[in-house]
Structure 1
Amino acid sequence: MYTTLFNLSSLGESNLSGVDPQRLQDLAHRPVKISIIIVLGVLVTLGNIAVLLVITSSVAGWSRNSRYFLLSLAAADSAFGLLVMPLNLWVSLIKDYTEGPDALCHVVAFCNATIYSTCVYTLATISLERYIAVFYPLQYGTILTRQRTLLLISFAWCFPPVLLLPVLFPDGIIAVHFSTASLVCNPAYSTNVGYSLSLACVIFFPCSFIMTYTNLSVWCVAKRQRMKLRKFYCARRQRHNVASRVLVPVMGAYYACWTPCMAAMIYNALSGSSVPEWIEFVVVWLPTSNGFLNCIFYFWINRSFRRKFRYVLQKFAESLCPRLVNSLLFRSTSKAQFDSGYLDNNNIVHERSSSVSSTCTLLSLA
């Protein structure tokens, strides 16, 4: 694969003798960038497929609405590796860089912007659901009914395509170009200033405000409750600082991955010039890495999810090679089956989910 990529790069450079040096430099770095994108795509895809395999079935302590929202998030993150990356890599290998924008680039740019926007809206809906679960636990079932939950998820998936529909038309008002620096088909933000600013005001800033306000409120409540519990020795020794362990990494990863991309987009729109090559590559693909970090912060640090994943992995391995599994990997099969069955029956109180109401139990102790 790597030999083919290098040959393609050399072929592209030999056919672009009249192109400016900056473009030739972008093409020379293309094999390295493609390798980074492939590795990132594999991590995002495998991580979210594992998540989907687990949460399609019941997980102890996770409500139905929680699973719906988290399934939506895992599906949106999976689309990064299954749709966004293959499309852009395909265009980067077949496109003649001396040509201008084409219909294919507009379709790819539409898919890119739609998936990115859906992911941001989904993160905002999860934060909103967490806020309701913590501050209105008794009214949770009446506020977030199954119908309203599905409506929120539908909005996160259906509104971005409608909002971004002008990107789809080659001869429309939105100009699209393929960037050899980031290997992505994107709207030309320097020539679409109004579109760039509107996109930031409609998607990024409102969702960031919702996430910041809801997560900060939950964190403050959890901190106050933890201060009350400090007077009890057993509570101090056994309770984990859920707010610091979950909410802080979630918000830190979100802003670290999305803020540079939005800042570069706004800078390109206002200044009319682009950022340096590698900076553009990093800030464009950083939001994709958030799809992998979500697997860690929303799922893998949750005890119930890890136990259910081990149970699913055990069943899958037993179906392939039961003798080897029983002899080498799963010597404590009976104990694992007891734990998983005990958890699935929800007979004891566990953490519902890292992303939903981890601090709800803390509030009930007040």
Structure 2
Amino acid sequence: MMSSNASLPGDLDELDVKGTDTLKLLEAHRPIKIGIILLLGVMITLGNVAVVSVIYSAVPGWSRNSRYFLLSLTGADSAFGLIVMPLNLCVSLLKDYSDEPDPFCHVVAFFNATVYSTCMYTLASISVERYVAVFYPLQYSTMLTRRRALLLIAFAWLFPPVLLVPISCPEGIIDVYFSSASLVCNPSYSSNVTYSLSLTGFIFFPCSALMTFCNLRLWVAARRQRRKLRTHGSARWTRPNVASRVLVPVMTAYYTCWTPCMVIMIYTAISGSSVPEWVEFVAVWLPTSNGFLNCIFYFWINQSFRRKFHLVLQRLCFRLCPDAKPVHDSVMATLNNNTVHERSSSVSSTCTLLTIAVENYI
């Protein structure tokens, strides 16, 4: 007993040294992490500003409902750069690692979770809208009216705050702490395992299942129609395989960005243990990069969007440089005629119609 007690001071000193070394390492890594977060914020913000400047006006091939859903996605992605990152950077710069959680940290954690959840619900809503547009084109206007589309968007924005409001309460059902590894205010998922797991059951898993089902059906349908066209001797069919070029990267990016975060959330909730510093940092901030990748997969790959973006850039240049030669109406007419001809010349059969519908809505 005497020897056991005598060893305690040495053990405590060793723990203090390890704790001091860990804090020094975290402090040394903090500027690198802040730089990565700032870079992500700039990329997401600039990308979505460019998107808004284009879809603010009509884009050929996009219906009114499509524009509503894509504007909702742009708003959710922009919130990463305009809300999530500034709030967490403010906390990470002002809060000392030894400080205890405070009410402001609860509010920041609430906004973090709300924006993440809204983004997932919005992605699922877009998948549903495109599924209906492709497989039920004649019933689209009755199945997905303007009112129903707006209600679906409202649900994606209003349901997450209701579900996550306990996180904002300092004396609520779940604790919140400032993570020195990821530089964010995180809920302590192990403090309420039932609530933490229910969040994944209401948000990640249903959204992922819905997106996977809709996009897989679209991909299978597009491949089937392309095979039929080749079988029937459509040798002149030279349109690129847009379904594989868009749908596969969309789902790959979604699961790559969101799965690590959800896995760590479930692991920490059940085990009560933490993960290595950089593993936590990457897993927590990886979903925000999906906000930039969405700009590429949902917008820049679309040919109509690129054409409209070029026109917007030209108009902006001519406003900044009045002496430059303006765009002739014939050029704009040619672009529009090419879009119309691109559609009308390829609807000679049901197979072709379905393929074009997939391309216009992905």
Q: CA deviation at 1:316?
A: 1.1
Residues 112 and 226 of structure 1: CA distance in aligned 2, closer, same or farther (over 3 Å): same
CA distance in 1, matches of 2:239, 2:105: 52
Is the CA contact (8 Å cut-off) linking 2:73 and 2:123 kept in structure 1?
yes
Instruction: Return the offset for 1:176.
Output: 0.5
- 1:162 and 2:162 aligned: yes
Question: For residues 193-212 of structure 1, what are the structure 2 equivalents within 5 Å?
Answer: 193-212=193-212
Q: Which moved more, 1:103-112 or 1:232-241?
A: 232-241
Q: 1:294 to 1:364 in 2, by over 3 A?
A: closer
Q: Residues 254-301 of structure 1: CA distance to partner in whole angstroms, max 9, x if unpaired?
A: 000000110011111111111100010001011000000000000001
Equivalent in the alignment of 1:223: 223
Question: Which residue does the alignment assign to 1:69?
Answer: 69
**Pairwise CA distance, 1:234:** 4.8
Unaligned ranges ≥5, structure 1: 1-15, 352-358
Closer/same/farther in 2, CA of residues 239 and 73 from structure 1, 3 Å limit: same
Tell me by how many angstroms 1:239 deviates. 1.9
**Partner deviation per Cα, 1:33-66 (whole Å, 9 max, x = no partner):** 0000000110000001100111010001110011
For normalisation by structure 1, the TM-score amounts to 0.87
> How many residues matched?
336
CA RMSD of aligned residues (A): 2.3
Alignment-mate amino acid for residue 251 of structure 1: M
Q: Identity over the aligned pairs, expressed in percent?
A: 64
For 1:306, the equivalent position in structure 2 comes to: 306
CA contact (8 A) 1:72 1:122 kept: yes
Residue 43, structure 1, aligned to residue 36, structure 2: no
Deviation at 1:189, TM superposition (A): 1.6
User: 1:134-158, CA deviations, whole angstroms, 9 ceiling, x for partnerless residues?
Assistant: 1111100100000000000000000
- Aligned residue type for 2:257: C
Secondary structure at the aligned position of 1:230 is classed as helix
Correspondence for 1:355: none
Indicate the residue corresponding to 1:296 in structure 2.
296
CA distance in 2, matches of 1:63, 1:334: 24
Tell me which residue corresponds to 1:244: 244
Given that 1:230 and 1:236 are in contact with CA atoms closer than 8 Å, whether structure 2 keeps it comes out as no
Rg: which structure is higher?
2
Instruction: Give the deviation of 1:162 after TM superposition.
Output: 0.5
Amino acid at match of 2:35: S
Unaligned runs of 5+ in 2: 1-15, 345-351
For 1:168 and 1:364, how far apart are their aligned partners in 2? 43
| Partner residue in 2 for 1:83 | 83
Q: Deviations over 1:114-170 (max 9, x none)?
A: 000000000000001111111111100100000000000000000000100001111
Identify which of 317, 334, 338 aligns with 2:333: 338
Q: Is the 8 A contact 1:311 1:336 kept in 2?
A: no
Task: Return the alpha-carbon distance in structure 2 between the equivalents of residues 102 and 254 of structure 1.
Answer: 32
Return the alpha-carbon distance in structure 1 between the equivalents of residues 31 and 357 of structure 2: 55
Corresponding residue SS for 1:178:
strand
SS in 2 for 1:201: helix
Question: Which residue of the other structure, out of 328, 332, 355, is the alignment partner of 1:362?
Answer: 355
